[in-house]
Chains A and B, each alone.
Chain A
Amino acid sequence: MQRIPTDEMLVARTLAGDRNAFRALVERHYNAVFRLCRSILRHPEDAEDATQEVFVRVYEALGQFAGRGAFGAWLRRLTVNHCLNRAQKTSAQMAARSYSLDLLADTLPAAGEDDPEARFWRAEERARIQTELEFLPPQQRAALGLRLLEGLSYEEIAEMMGVPVNSVRSWLHRGRARLREALEEVVGC
């Protein structure tokens, strides 16, 4: 039975010049990195671009990783930093998209749901969520993403983002409160 190589083994092979090892690393972590980027950045296209940039940066800086700690944690930290920088740059350039039919069309689910009415309401709900998410500050989105997608504790998020634990606590509290208020109809409370 063939043993599945660990991240650290793949890193060592990449550093030795094996590009296929890096491809395996990308395949393994692509979805997690994309989800994290998507949670921090406003638009899916930005998230996709950021994901590619993150992996290129990872490749360039792989020698600095040097086997200290887990590769996954290092990758997440790099992703969060990259996305926050990117969000800061783009926030000045791009205004938040308004709730529109275009956005509604983007959020229509694939042919998974048979009932057209259910599909429509689901799409509208997603559009509302995306619209409200766009108004959250990037730090609040990052903290929510790390908490909900990665399941990290406040302490771990604080360490990853280089901020005090109380800032994380505050961001999560404010982000949720704002979304709850904005999505009152969807949430139903």
Chain B
Amino acid sequence: MTTRRQFLASGATAVAALATGISARAADTPGITDTEIKIGQTMPYSGPASAYGVIGRTEAAYFKMINESGGINGRKINLISLDDSYSPPKTVEQVRRLVEQENVAFLFNTLGTAPNAAIRQYLNDNKIPQLFVSTGASLFADPEHFPWTVGFNPSYQTEARIFAKHILANHPNAKIALLYQNDGFGKDYQTGLRDGLGADHASMVIKEASYETSEPSIDSQVVTLQGSGADVLVIAATPKFAAQAIRKSYDLGWEATRYLTNVSPSITTVLKPAGLEKSKGLIYGAYVKDVADPGFKDDAGVQEWRGFCDKYLTHTDFTDGNAAYGYSAAATMAQVLKQCGGDLSRDNVLKQATNVKDLSLPMFLPGIKLNTSPTNYNPIRQLRLAQFNGESWQLFGDLIAG
């Protein structure tokens, strides 16, 4: 059966190739037919990072919307999104399945620092684009050594440097405590703070504590940090742990200025579980619009997002910053595929992914423009600080480039 179908498909491709000439190139690339672009990703639908699963669901919904309106240049997008439980050996297995069994054209927005690190060599060896990886770890923007791996999130170090600038300007005598996840993500905040504070680093950061994603609770780390007498707390934690840290620091009666990493500002999955009252005063470096912010009530981008959620997702997803992130990543991918035109060879997909010019997205803050080039694999380089007032994030100050 399969052979016959393949035979028919190849026959159809050959006819189309004769007709247009352009499609011949498409037929050379796995996952590309005249009617379909097959792409793959891994997501932690189960396990400690499962709060991010909504990103994969939103992206699938976005491509569904694109497909219902005719696809891109006549081709429908088929996203195969597999669960890796945030376990690198599982990621390798699933990515091999995507590449060798499902024959995807390329990988899109695979989530996590360690999972992406585990598959990077394999994908680069086989010249398969690993596009817009869902992590801000600085090691994924390395065009010289890993030309097929392109980053997406603003780098964690960038955000930490922006925090440092803000601390120096507003609390020059601050005593800083840092809570970080013990991996590349958390340590980037350590590095970024060190860079941003410069000579003052040693005297200002008085206590650091780390945790593992396998720990059920990080209350003891928060207690230790409070005990140090710090008056600024930087929380570099993924959603579940960020919620714990926010709640615990409040329950302890610790009146510190709290900075929160921009992987965890979601009101739905972080602040509500932590308690909205307990989240008051948090500061983070924003690039995604917060739908609860009254300032964006009549914003065209938010209206578009609301319409999308009504049709393809749920109301809970509408308020989830992670979902809005997924929407934006998928829109970036769609833009790159549009730029590709009829040539969907892996070479051209990479070329267009590293040739994004001043792209504004409906759910990214006004003024934020995505740019990539063959030497710049970090599309998002601007952030704006925002503070939580108990109901929504309030933006303040200007866009800052870190």
Partners in one complex: no
